Structure 1
Amino acid sequence: MAAFPLPPGSVIGILGGGQLGRMLAQAAARLGFDVAILDPEPDGPAARVAAHSIVGAYDDPDALKALADLADVITYEFENVPAGAVERLLSMGVEVAPGLQALQVAQDRGNEKSFLNGHGVPTVGYTVAIGPGEAVESARRVGVPCLMKTMREGYDGKGQRWIEHPDEAFQAFQDLGGVPVILEEAADFVRELSVIAARGRGGEIAVYPLGENHHEKGILRRTLAPAQVSPQLAGQAERIAIRILEGLTYVGVIGIELFEMRDGGLLANEFAPRVHNTGHWTQDGCEVDQFEQHIRAVAGWPLGPTAPIARVEMLNLLGDEAEGWKRFAAEPETRIHLYGKHKAKPGRKMGHVNKVKPLR
């Protein structure tokens, strides 16, 4: 078992080799760490900027053993890593952060809602269903319109359907794969916000300013930050973040999606136990960005300051939009972050830009 804080030259393992792993590896390198990536795909975005690359399935015992032998601490870049993989790593005596509980809660939307409500964090009303007939009854109980989501997996609008009439729930359940689902009340919200926060190994907490998020077809299109919010609303968000972080005995950065309601209250939509797309603005808008903050936390270093140094509009570059890099490079207020993905597909996140303006 490693002793914390980890000194420079230590190895940080990352489960997942996509763009979040890439930006975590870049942040770790700035702090003097080496990074080992485990990913099923060879030559992914993260592997090309890391010191070590292991190609293998997340539940491959040999690949996990190779990662455990290399790394002093292991983290993950997305929440759909099999919980069993983390259990195996822990059984080998390697530290994993965030911990197993955070992963298990975030992987099941029913468990997530139950956890949030149980820790004083309000959400929309919901119910769960494991069969098509039960889905119809659940839609009647929750009320329509309601949103049906698969209990596990699903991202960027995938794995969900709006239900306008209870009888539609039967076919929608089948269309979503016939797997357990959660049905959520429609939220009459003013806007979508998010808070990025971190908890260190000593229990210290750092919270970033809120971001205001705009989605298209279920995919985040842009984040404006710091969001224009009252001190009261910012305080609500901070309290929500603290309750979640402490309830999970969390170590690392977390992203929490929020609904601002018409009465001025906040509801938690969901959380991601990792760095988050809505926190990309921090790379050019804060003293220490979310990626460095996560590395600091899992390595046992002091957390860095979260104060904003600029106002930022973060724009996701989807599909062939990344081909506009020449135009973005000519804009003095624009900072380009490309992920090095080899093939552009419609809706695929190929990079993002941060358009930076002075704070006012």
Structure 2
Amino acid sequence: MLIEKGKWIAVLGGGQLGKMLCESAKRQGYKTMVLEPSKAACAALEADLHLAKPYDDKESLVYIAKNSSVVTYEFENVPSESIDILEENGGYIPQGRRPLYISQHRFREKSSINNLGIKTAEFRAVTDKESLKKAVEEIGYPSILKTSMGGYDGKGQWVLRNKEDFEKAVAELSDREYILEQMVDFQCELSCIAVKSTDGSVGVFPVVENIHKNGILHITIAPARISEEVQEKVKEITKKIIEGLNFVGPLAIEYFYGKDGEIYVNEMAPRPHNSAHYTMDGCDKSQFDLQIEGICGKHLEDPKLIKKSVMLNILGQDVERIEKAELRANEKLYMYGKGEAKTDRKMGHLNITGENLEELIKRAEELAK
């Protein structure tokens, strides 16, 4: 279905991703409404209408269904019941609930990827001490225990390198589902985002390299410092997954490029992604532009990298220093308009563009000190 300019787009979620989606939608000639419980939501700064209600508020969902032409989401923990309410009341949400169902649970996520014939690290389901003990016996050390649902930026994870780590993790287990994954000995961490339109066309962005600190994305390097052959292989896998799972809208996939030369899928998210913020200045179209185009039924092509780019995440502890820094003409700062600058809270990002990738990385690290 082709959505004409001037129509209303509804976004479930009102964080920085929702804010940037609304900015892109506005540039493309659409009106936006956002459903986000927090009255201080940064997406409210750009949306034409902010519904400050819970994600499962039926009255708000019915309003969205009746008054928007298309609905999308900006985070993967939208309750699936909300999708049902929207659809039952005539709402058009082309992504549907399936991407949420698969990506909200790590065991389902990795199983669905393996079913497509694509590699992940070896993994096992864990529910208690006995199943964890068996999983460790089968997978061995080092491995990583994660909650199957929830958890982000390193939260809800335990690295197991020995029996002492095992006992510590056992002591902290609660009554919930977990997944134990073999740790991949990797050369680097990569990611790639693709968007599938409602017309079936797919646009795949360039492959980027990610460097994390304390489990949080620190910098993204575009393009990734890998061979063109590996870049193309990652793009092919990304397209195979979004088409094989029959998703519509955005799908961001994080990869490990192993020292054994293999490519392993780590995680995926059916939404815009932190590692693709560089696209706002480094590509001819941003990830937000493509998501809006895709859900509105436009034909998509692969976006092009027009400038080498490095994206630096701005966390709460970085805000004062970055805001005092003398930025250059090739450096663009995006602050999200959030409230308190708490430690490790994502407050903004800085895109640095140029020709010499190593110099851009060096500059990003200088600004990060």
Where on the TM-score scale, by shorter chain, does this alignment land: which range? over 0.9
Secondary structure, counterpart of 1:23 in structure 2 = helix
| Counterpart in the other structure of 1:81 | 78
Report SS of the residue matched to 2:230.
helix
Write out per-residue CA displacement over residues 106-128 of structure 1, whole angstroms, 9 at most, x where no aligned residue.
00000001000001210000000
Is the contact between residue 225 and residue 281 of structure 1 (CA under 8 Å) also seen in structure 2? Answer: yes
Residue 7 of structure 2 is matched in structure 1 by 10
CA contact (8 A) 2:7 2:69 kept: yes
- For residues 221-267 of structure 1, the C-alpha deviation after alignment (integer angstroms, 9 at most, x for no partner) is 10010112222212211221122111222221211000001232210
Per the TM alignment, residue 173 of structure 1 is displaced from its structure 2 partner at its CA by 4.5
The 1:201–1:174 alpha-carbon spacing in structure 2 relative to 1, beyond 3 Å, is farther
**1:88–1:171 Cα change, 3 Å:** farther
Quote the residue 1:272 is aligned against: 269
In 2, the alpha carbon distance for the partners of 1:354 and 1:158 equals 26
Question: What amino acid maps onto 1:35 in structure 2?
Answer: T
Moved more, 302-311 or 274-283: 302-311
Alignment partners' CA distance in 2, 1:174 and 1:84 = 34
| Equivalence map 1:77-226=2 (5 Å) | 77-166=74-163, 168-169=165-166, 171-226=168-223
Could you tell me the TM-score, scaled by structure 1's length? Answer: 0.95
Deviates more, 1:200-209 or 1:285-294: 200-209
Residue segments in structure 2 that go unaligned for 5+ positions in a row:
358-369
Q: Which of these residues, 260, 265, 288, is aligned with residue 263 of structure 1?
A: 260
List per-residue Cα deviations over 1:51-107 (Å, max 9, x = no partner): 011111111212211222222111111111112211221222212242311110000
Query: Counterpart in 2 of 1:319?
Result: 316
- 2:106–2:149 contact (8 Å) kept in structure 1: yes
SS in 2 for 1:14: strand
TM-score by length of structure 2 reads 0.93
In the alignment, residue 155 of structure 1 is paired with which amino acid? Answer: Y
| Partner Cα separation in structure 1 for residue 62 and residue 219 of structure 2 | 39
Q: Do the aligned partners of 2:317 and 2:344 also contact (CA within 8 Å) in 1?
A: no
Matches of 2:94 and 2:256 in 1, distance apart? 27
- Written as runs of structure 1 = structure 2, the 5 A alignment for 1:10-89 is 10-89=7-86
Aligned: 1:250 with 2:247: yes
Q: What code does the residue aligned with 2:265 have?
A: A
Secondary structure of the structure 2 residue equivalent to 1:314: strand
Distance (Å, rounded) in 2 between the aligned partners of 1:135 and 1:241 = 31
Greater mean deviation of Cα atoms: 31-40 or 68-77: 68-77
**Partners of 2:272 and 2:287 within 8 A in 1:** yes
State how far apart, in whole Å, the 1-side matches of 2:251 and 2:353 are.
Answer: 24
C-alpha separation in 1, matches of 2:302 and 2:189: 25
Q: CA–CA distance in 2 between the matches of 1:167 and 1:332?
A: 51
What does residue 355 of structure 2 align with?
Answer: 358
Aligned position for 1:232: 229
SS in 2 for 1:86: helix
Name the stretch that deviates more: 269-278 or 176-185: 176-185
Question: Within the alignment, does 1:339 sit opposite 2:339 as a pair?
Answer: no
Aligned length: 357
Amino acid aligned to 2:125: V
For residue 75 of structure 2, give the secondary structure of its aligned residue in structure 1.
Answer: coil
Identity over aligned pairs, percent: 36
- In the aligned structure 1, how far is the partner of 2:323 from the partner of 2:205? 31
Shift of 1:328: 4.7
Amino acid at match of 2:112: F
Kindly provide the CA deviation profile for residues 274-305 of structure 1, in whole angstroms up to 9, marking residues without a partner as x: 11000000000000010000000011122255
Q: Give the CA deviation at 1:177.
A: 3.3
Equivalent-residue separation in structure 1 for 2:356 and 2:93 (angstroms): 37
1:176 deviates by 4.8
